[in-house]
Amino acid sequence: MKHCPNVRELSAYVDGELSEIRRQRVEGHLSRCFNCAAALQEMRHLRAIFTSLPVRQVGFDLAPFIRARLTASSEGTAARWLGWCIHDLAPLSLTIAATVVTGIFIGALLTVPGTVTGPESQAMAVFDPVPPGGICVGHASCYNKGKL
């Protein structure tokens, strides 16, 4: 390898993530290049410092707490659902019931015998299926004898 490997290559070399061919090339270059060897040394130094990071631990069993939260959330969901039923569905149900009752009441008013009477008229008789000019036997609108 004539040219210096890029930082990505060196970093992957430190992690042992290069293919065998690439690894050999990088190693060959490192033996001749002071700058790359220094960069590699810094990366290894950094890796070593990671091992000195304080080891953080929970210190107690989290499982009971997680279970309590799961139970609380499922109870909360049920309570929310119930609350939703009471607070949201009740007014909606009442409105629907009131609408249905009103409809039935108005409908009952309209269907009481004698309360509503339609006008007696033969105006619609002109739409008889008998075509114009056809013989219409006995229909009053065809024989307006009063005007003739």
Partner 1 sequence: MGKRYRGRMPACVNEPSDTEYAERARKGDWESFSVLVRRHQDRVYRFVFEMMRCREDALELTQEVFLRAFRALPSWRSDALFSTWLFRIAANVAIDNLRRRKLATYVSFDECEDFVALSPGPEELAEAGERGRLLEFALQRLPPEYREVLLLREIEEMSYSEIAQVLRIREGTVKSRISRARGLLLQLYLRQCGEL
Minimum distance, C-beta of residue 59 to partner 1, in the bound complex (Å): 9
Place of tokens 């990366």: 43
For partner 1, the closer CB: 6 or 111:
6
Integer Cα distance of 143 and 127 in angstroms: 16
- ∠ CA 88-93-97, rounded to 5°: 155
Residues 6+ apart with CB under 8 A from 28: 1
Q: Is 4 in the site for partner 1 (CB under 8 A)?
A: no
Q: Is 55 in the site for partner 1 (CB under 8 A)?
A: yes
Q: Binder to partner 1 among 10, 26, 36, 40 (CB under 8 A)?
A: 10
Q: Binder to partner 1 among 3, 56, 145, 147 (CB under 8 A)?
A: 56
| Residue 135 vs residues 7, 129, 139, 142: alpha-carbon distances, Å | 106, 11, 10, 9
Q: Binder to partner 1 among 57, 111, 122, 144 (CB under 8 A)?
A: 57
Q: Is 142 in the site for partner 1 (CB under 8 A)?
A: no
Helix spans in the chain (H): 7-14, 20-30, 34-50, 63-84, 90-111
Q: Is 77 in the site for partner 1 (CB under 8 A)?
A: no
Residues that bind partner 1 (CB under 8 A): 7-8, 10-12, 15, 17, 42-43, 46-47, 49-50, 52-58, 61-63, 65-67, 69-70, 73
